[in-house]
Amino acid sequence: MKIGEFHDVNRKLVGRTVWHYDVVESTNETAKELLETDLEEGLVIWADRQSAGRGRQGRAWASPAGGLYASVILRPPATHAWVLGLLVGMPVVKALRHFGVFAGLKYPNDAVYQDRKIAGILSEGVYRHDVYHVVLGIGVNTNVDLDKLPPDVQPTATTLKREVNLFVANDEFLDYLLSQIDDLYSRYRNTRIEFLLKDYRGQCTTIGKRVAATTSKGTITGRAYDISPTGAMIIMDEQGAKHEFVEGGLKVLK
């Protein structure tokens, strides 16, 4: 149920309007249902809880009360739109650092702190009446106790509450995060994608590390070497051959 609505006229596009819900199945799904109506670009769907939160690769995203669950509706040109999902990892990491967690950016767009995941992004592209939309779904473990997350994710997850002594309200975190996404999206529309990918490359803490990337074709082990002009991770294997990795499981090896 919708429980509130906020406006910020100082924003360029992202988060000029935020619709606040108590519980939804998934903010990405709510956003996609709304695409049928003629709604403003940059609208944000924010929920206190999700009953069927979704992650990448068909995984579930545990969404207990206390966490931050939001989706931004955008209408970028369809070219490069996939890269937007990658780039939005930067404002998420920036927001976490702003509130005291010195998170890193794990390819493609996970925010991690000391090898434990603290935030994830599910970016989905959808056509509605020939118009391309991107729904950027962001989940942050803000005010969540680790034991509220499923036992299988606990060893590799963390939360803001666990890492920082100061209480950070979700509306405060969301406000800062949206201002950063607003800036990124404005750069995305006005700057060449190469420049943004260069920034991304500089912030991606996976680069230089040994990784195992698993796709439907099998597993490649090697060193995360670079980000390609299309946003793929270039992995150099032990024989010096380069492989491009985009979607699948990426494990950072010790």
Residues at the interface with ligand BTN (CB under 6 A): 26-28, 50, 53-56, 59, 61, 69-71, 110, 120-122, 137-139
| Closer residue to ligand BTN in complex, CB, 71/159 | 71
DSSP state of 76: -
Beta strands in 51-160 (DSSP E): 68-74, 104-106, 110-113, 116-128, 131-140
Pairing of strands 233-237, 242-245: antiparallel
Sequence-distant (6+) residues with CB within 8 A of 77 are 132
Least gap, CB of 12 to ligand BTN (angstroms)? 22
| Closer residue to ligand BTN in complex, CB, 152/238 | 152
Q: What is the CA radius of gyration of the chain?
A: 18
Of 36, 32, 30, 34, give the one whose Cα is nearest residue 50: 30
Least gap, CB of 145 to ligand BTN (angstroms)? 18
Least gap, CB of 236 to ligand BTN (angstroms)? 25
Least gap, CB of 108 to ligand BTN (angstroms)? 9
What are 220's two structure tokens?
Answer: 């490649």
Pairing of strands 68-74, 131-140: antiparallel
Asked if 161 contacts 143 with a C-beta cutoff of 8 angstroms, the reply is yes
Q: In 3-state terms, what secondary structure has residue 156? A: helix
| Closer residue to ligand BTN in complex, CB, 205/225 | 205
> Using omega within 30 degrees of 0 as the cis cutoff, is the peptide bond preceding 155 cis?
no
| Closer residue to ligand BTN in complex, CB, 153/234 | 153
Rounded Cα distance, 110 and 61, in Å: 13
Least gap, CB of 88 to ligand BTN (angstroms)? 11
The DSSP bridge partners found for residue 110 are 106
Least gap, CB of 132 to ligand BTN (angstroms)? 19
Pairing of strands 210-215, 249-252: antiparallel
Least gap, CB of 95 to ligand BTN (angstroms)? 14
Residue least distant from ligand BTN (Cβ): 120
First to last CA, the chain: 45
| Closer residue to ligand BTN in complex, CB, 42/139 | 139
| Closer residue to ligand BTN in complex, CB, 72/207 | 72
| Closer residue to ligand BTN in complex, CB, 59/189 | 59
